[in-house]
Chain A
Amino acid sequence: MSETFDGATVVQARGLVKHYGEIHAVDDVDLTVPAGDVYGLLGPNGAGKTTFMRMLFGLIRPDAGTIELFGRREVAGPVDALRDVAGFVETPRFYPYLSGRANLEILATLDRRDSAKRIDEVLEQVDLTERGGSKVREYSYGMVQRLGVAAALMRSPRLLILDEPTNGLDPAGIRDMRALIRRLAGTGITILLSSHNMLEVESTCRHVAIMRRGKVAFEGSMEDLRARADAVEYRLFTTDVVRAAGVSEAADGVANVRAASDGIRFDSTPEAVERLTARLGGMGIGIRQLELPRTALETLFFRLTESDGSEPVEAAS
């Protein structure tokens, strides 16, 4: 086992490869998760996120490459490597014929530490205190999801790996889960979060990696990402569509203007949009509404994941 933890890097994956026959589920992935960060892992279905997370947990053996968690390399089985790690991959699963509390007791036994003392506390954290005695088969999908978070928190991890944690939650559950993630992040825990929801990643993560077809298409901070996704699509509704479209086409920093019956669409930056709206106002064209249908992250996400694969991998320095 290598012990090279420098205190700054929690997850370090280098040259990770996993093939299933002809399918390259994970293809030469390098990824670094800084300590204390909330790190978002994005990608469409089949991008390799879940395979990567399963490799982190030692559930899948990589065909090539190395993973270090807190500087400990997974060479002799994951038990020691996972000492400070908890979380779940895909939907958390429990024994349906046991209660939520009994499931946590079983997991505490397997943890071989004083996790059991925290059962009440973690059930309260995920708002399952009242239903802790019910059998898991009677739980809703969202309750199972919350029990999964409770099972992870019971280990008092320094790295929390969450795969689509808001899946199946109702709007209030999503709000509470995001608040919980932010609260945990505030305690110094490093969180690796996989999600399809770009708004969620954008609002909670400081670093992000976007995977496509088993490869990392982008890795860097949210600021780097926003800087790269400078031209974002805007939708503008005005009192005079024809004149507004003409002014937009002539404006600096505005491109790809498309006029429709109710408004115009164009790609631009926040600064250029400020100048454009001021100019439209000055010309007596009323602005009814300005929309940003896609965030910076969404724009880059679709650009990276829907391209034909010829686009080079981007990595922030």
Chain B
Amino acid sequence: MREFAAVYRVECRKLLAQSRVRWMLLFLLVVPWIYIGLILHQDRLPLETLYGRYLKDTGYATPLAILVYASQWVLPLIAALIAGDVFSSEDQQGTLKTILTRSVGRSAVFWGKFGAAFSFTALAVATVAVSATLAGIVAVGNDPLVDVGGTLRQPGAAAGLVAASWATVLLPTLAFAAIAMMVSILTRSSVLGVIVPIVLGLCMQLYTFLNAWDTVRHVLLGYSMSAWRGLLDSPSYVAPLARALPVAAVYLLIATAIGFVAFRRRDVAGG
């Protein structure tokens, strides 16, 4: 456990020291404010987007509208940017040998890196969720929200629904992060570590738009990313979530297991 804690601390420090990660967190913090600012300064609303029509009526529509965009491609992108080169950058910089010749074992290095990448991915999701909610409340107001079923939800309940909706996308986002790290370990390529999860996420999203087999659709991460919508119906239903979250967990576990075995067994012959 002390080995894991040491690697985790080091990995968090390294991630924070990277300008890419700092800029991304800043971007996620600022973008919701720009988004709602632009919406308020134009006449038309994004009616085709879920909750787009309510963006000027209640602040709670902002985080939900942004969640629609985020769940389609932004969250896989965030996961890939943070986690996609956590391992492969060590290969490219030749620093894997540097850390593996100190007093930490490979398992600790693996779990410490996974832990740090998951923490920063969760931090990024929380940053955009909180920023979007605050931007909506400050710019539009702390007003009740009309849910998908037409029921008026008071601000307190609306805030709870927003938080729950964002919380449900965390697990599939972490699954994308695990896939990014697995690809990063297997290919030792930062480019593939970033691109593969994004392309995978887009392909899964495209499939969910098709009227194809539901059985396949239900085992895709794209479905897990949109399962939160049932929470906003009246009465709300959780059946999609009950299917989607275990699916996301399976993706996460399989990608983690493959990454762990590959990392433990590999020779560090370069660098």
Contacts and interface: CB of A to CB of B under 8 A. Distances in A.
B6 interface: yes
B53 interface: no
B18 to A, nearest CB: 6
A133 interface: no
Nearest to B104: A110
Contacts of A14: none
Nearest to A107: B102
Contacts of B106: 77
A98 interface: yes
Interface string A42-66: 0000000001001001111100000
A110 B105 CA distance: 10
Contacts, number: 90
Contact of A59 (B2, B14, B267): B267
B100 interface: yes
A220 B106 CA distance: 35
A95 B100 contact: no
Most-contacted residue by chain A among B19, B101, B103 (CB, 10 A):
B101
B98 A98 contact: no
Interface residues of B, number: 29
A307 B165 CA distance: 73
Contacts of A77: 105-107
B170 to A, nearest CB: 28
A97 B89 CA distance: 12
Interface residues of A, number: 36
Contacts of B17: 95, 97-98, 102
A17 B93 CA distance: 28
A97 B98 CA distance: 15
B9 A109 contact: yes
Contacts of B18: 97
Given A59-B101, A61-B267, A107-B102, A112 B94 contact: no
Interface string A89-103: 111111111100010
A110 B267 contact: no
A110 B10 contact: yes
Interface in B186-233: none
A79 B103 contact: yes
Given A110-B10, A112-B2, A93 B98 contact: yes
A60 B269 CA distance: 7
Nearest to A86: B101
A83 B6 CA distance: 16
A98 B97 CA distance: 17
Interface of A: 51, 54, 57-61, 77-79, 82-83, 85-98, 102, 106-107, 109-113, 151, 155
Given A54-B269, A95-B95, A110-B99, 7 more contacts: A54-B267, A59-B101, A78-B101, A88-B98, A90-B94, A107-B98, A110-B104
